[in-house]
Structure 1
Amino acid sequence: MNREAPIFELKNVSQKFGSFESLTDINLQIGAGDRVALVGPSGAGKSTLIGLLNGTLLPSKGEVCVLGRNLAHLRPKLRRQLQRQIGTIYQQFHLVDNLRVIHNVNAGHLGKWSFFKAAVSLMWPLEIETAAKALTQVGIAEKLFERTDRLSGGQQQRVAIARVLVQNPAAILADEPISSLDPERSREIMDLLRQLSQGTGKTLVTSLHAIEFARSHYQRIIGLRQGRILFDTPPEKLTSTTIEQLYKT
């Protein structure tokens, strides 16, 4: 991992929601090209950490630096520009069901398109070749003009990934991307995310409940329990005892 120029760096970060502290004293660096899995029980703070990394949350305490910039110190316009370098995939897909696939994929351009260009593209799709290339990368090129609500859950998640590819960020965050998928589709999506990270060199950070995928698809596993980092280790050093400690009731 490149410690000299981390994509993400958290320094003594805590995050509160009212009186509830979701994360406590988090110190973390994630470098360019790293594949990192965040694991832990529900409520451990995984989604909160994803929100801090993509700038949708600002920390209650401490510093979150993305690409060397402290998000809390940036004016809103500059913060939005930096956020465009971070693509996020969600478990709910965040697609517009009644639009065709190409329009959902083209949403990856919205950070750099003008309002007029975005509106025109809803009537006459633009950047068709770019969208087709992204859909080819995720294995559903033939769905380019299909209505999104006619796709399976696994196909819709591929559309969401294609949207991030069009965005072309420096890093990809995936927040429980397989929680609503069956085992076969889950493996397909995990294989795809690993393949895309390896093929493009993009940083990949994924929150997961499935320890087996964390072990098989990631270079580094971070265990969160009650808002704190319990371990940060390569998969080959993760023991069954440590896993039991992570999930003990």
Structure 2
Amino acid sequence: MNVNEILFELKQVNQQFGRLQALADLDLQIRAGERVALVGSSGAGKSTLIRLLNGTLRPTGGEVWALGRCLSRLSPRQLRQVQQHIGTIYQQFHLVDSLAVIHNVNAGHLSHWSFAKALFSLIYPLETETAAIALRRVGIPEKLYERTDRLSGGQQQRVALARVLVQNPPVILADEPVSSLDPERSREIMALLRDLVTETGKTLVVSLHSIDLALHYCNRVIGLREGRMQFDAPADAVTKAMIEALYRL
């Protein structure tokens, strides 16, 4: 993927849920290799924007383009093909607690495994070396066959990240990936995300409550307030006045 290639483009995007205007008149481009943080108070539209980018939500107005395709114009099959190249990490991890870690990591293969292969892997795990490598990269190789519900919150988030590494998409979207973790674990996960996308040349878009994490681990920060973009700037150009205006009561 070429540096400076536009991976996402939003053109005058609006999103309404009933009478609630979640996003309004949003124009935005995200290029390959960027680490973009979405910041703002709860209800600012960060999670809605993530869902628009990965195609799980269609805009009520405007166009969302991802990987060169206008998502609103795609058939369900075509949309799934685009989504195979977009990995998403959620706040709730979306893991099956009763399964061993390897099965949750192998869920990253499901977009290109047949149903029969996926079912067989639940009985006799496949691609064990791929899963082991992914877990090694996120720092918990010893947890390969551990039951997922026996892991700490930080370890479960690492499993979710390993699942995305197995999927191996050029783009990773992370929706509040550290909101349930303590400050130390939050810094560990953000450092891990930054290092992994930098080493592999992937693009990262992450929504965060913490402006400090955004400024430290991302190179571009987008401030959202009540569904509207307040600023879009390099991390080192974000000022105290910009932050205060974003969060003012």
TM bracket, shorter-chain basis: over 0.9
Identical-residue share of aligned pairs (%): 67
Aligned equivalents of 2:92, 2:79: Cα separation in 1: 25
Query: 1:3, CA displacement in angstroms?
Result: 8.4
Residue matched to 1:119? 119
Query: 1:5, CA displacement in angstroms?
Result: 2.7
Aligned equivalents of 2:3, 2:210: Cα separation in 1: 27
Aligned equivalents of 2:196, 2:150: Cα separation in 1: 25
SS in 1 for 2:146: coil
Cα-to-partner distance string for 1:78-129 (whole Å, 9 max, x where unaligned):
1001011100001110000000000000000111001000000000000001
Contact 2:39–2:207 (Cα < 8 Å) also in 1: yes
Query: 1:235, CA displacement in angstroms?
Result: 1.3
Contact 2:224–2:246 (Cα < 8 Å) also in 1: yes
Residue matched to 1:229? 229
Contact 1:3–1:29 (Cα < 8 Å) also in 2: no
Cα-to-partner distance string for 1:125-179 (whole Å, 9 max, x where unaligned):
0000110010011000110000000000000000000000001111000000000
Aligned equivalents of 1:3, 1:185: Cα separation in 2: 31
Residue matched to 1:64? 64
Contact 2:3–2:33 (Cα < 8 Å) also in 1: no
Cα-to-partner distance string for 1:17-46 (whole Å, 9 max, x where unaligned):
112110001100001111000000110000
Query: 1:237, CA displacement in angstroms?
Result: 1.1
- Structure 2, gaps ≥5 residues long: none
Residue matched to 1:197? 197
Structure 1 runs of 4+ with >2 Å offset: 2-5
- Structure 1, gaps ≥5 residues long: none
Contact 2:22–2:227 (Cα < 8 Å) also in 1: yes
Alignment of 1:65-144 (within 5 A): 65-144=65-144
Query: 1:236, CA displacement in angstroms?
Result: 1.3
SS in 1 for 2:14: strand
Query: 1:223, CA displacement in angstroms?
Result: 0.1
Q: How does the TM-score come out when normalised to structure 1?
A: 0.98
Residue matched to 1:44? 44
Aligned equivalents of 1:124, 1:11: Cα separation in 2: 46
Query: 1:188, CA displacement in angstroms?
Result: 0.5
Query: 1:4, CA displacement in angstroms?
Result: 5.8
Contact 1:90–1:176 (Cα < 8 Å) also in 2: yes
Q: How does the TM-score come out when normalised to structure 2?
A: 0.98
Q: Which amino acid in the other structure matches residue 239 of structure 1?
A: T
Distance 1:161 1:107, change over 3 A: same
Distance 1:155 1:63, change over 3 A: same
Aligned equivalents of 2:61, 2:239: Cα separation in 1: 32
Contact 1:5–1:68 (Cα < 8 Å) also in 2: no
Root-mean-square deviation (CA), in Å?
Answer: 1.0
SS in 2 for 1:7: strand
Task: Give the number of equivalent residue pairs.
Answer: 248
Q: State whether structure 2 residue 176 is matched by structure 1 residue 187.
A: no
